[in-house]
Copies of this chain bind each other. A is one copy, B any other.
């Protein structure tokens, strides 16, 4: 449930109430929504929570129970889009965030070269894998920490944010030393141990939709992060698994439109994994923008055919530049239509 605080209540009184709620064993999340201060009361049994006896100063205007299972990720809790601010770069709301980079970091030079292109074309976040989830144990597994070092250097050189995947609770601390955004991959969307630990850190999480996760399960995974303390979440639609085999996955464009209506969290589209076919990345990314995404993730490589992974779906620099121009034009068009 959550509490709406009356206008013009002193900060002091609010803090006193929050303390009392915490003493009752609940976790707190304070937000401002349409000018109203709302305090989320987070806990398994939050519906049993009684405010009356706690609210001595009578600062609570309303106490509301949320009916949807993805409680604090929903617009039932927060009507306004959530905007996440990382080192001055905003994600969500009216900002468009371009995440781009290689599937895997292969060496220092390549990631620096790609970072330059990403920056040049308006990208704000560099993506790249140092720990790679590969279907086969016999495939390249990533450069691990060495990759993180190269990627950090590339980000610092071009003023980009660094987004990379975390696959294991053991690596969280180490990855946090380098990355600005931690990515949870599709295969780990319901790795609840990982989600719980990431709930405890203060870095934003890019949460990818599992390939057979329903919209509800996707938002429930986000809810794990909120419930364990981290509300800085960026959702990512990267395609679901269907019977169609001509494309690697099927981008759930309905899901994109629907999630934007029921959740206040930023949502981006990854049409590289979503389609698995380089020539489809452009039309499907632009489609995602009209469906309402707040950003896009694109796989780009200087020589896709020599990439160590995801050859088929990775754009070269010419394709990338052309797509970026269209992306920003389309987002402007969408905002004003």
Contact = CB atoms under 8 A, between A and B. Distances in A.
Interface of A: 43-44, 46, 69, 71, 131, 133-139, 167-171, 187-188, 190-194, 196, 210-212, 214-217, 220, 223-224, 227-228, 239-247, 249-258, 260-261, 274-275, 277, 279-280, 283-284, 286-292, 326, 329-330, 333, 337
Count of this chain's copies in the oligomeric assembly: 4
A76 B90 CA distance: 46
A191 to B, nearest CB: 5
Contacts of A241: 212, 243
A11 to B, nearest CB: 29
Nearest to A185: B190
Contacts of A138: 43-44, 46, 69, 71, 223, 227
Given A137-B223, A283-B290, A329-B337, 15 more contacts: A131-B193, A168-B193, A169-B170, A171-B193, A187-B191, A191-B191, A216-B246, A240-B243, A242-B242, A242-B250, A246-B258, A249-B254, A283-B292, A286-B337, A287-B291
For the complex of A and B, list the 9 residue pairs with the smallest distance between their C-beta atoms, beginning with the closest.
A212-B212, A168-B193, A137-B227, A257-B283, A287-B287, A187-B190, A286-B290, A253-B253, A287-B291
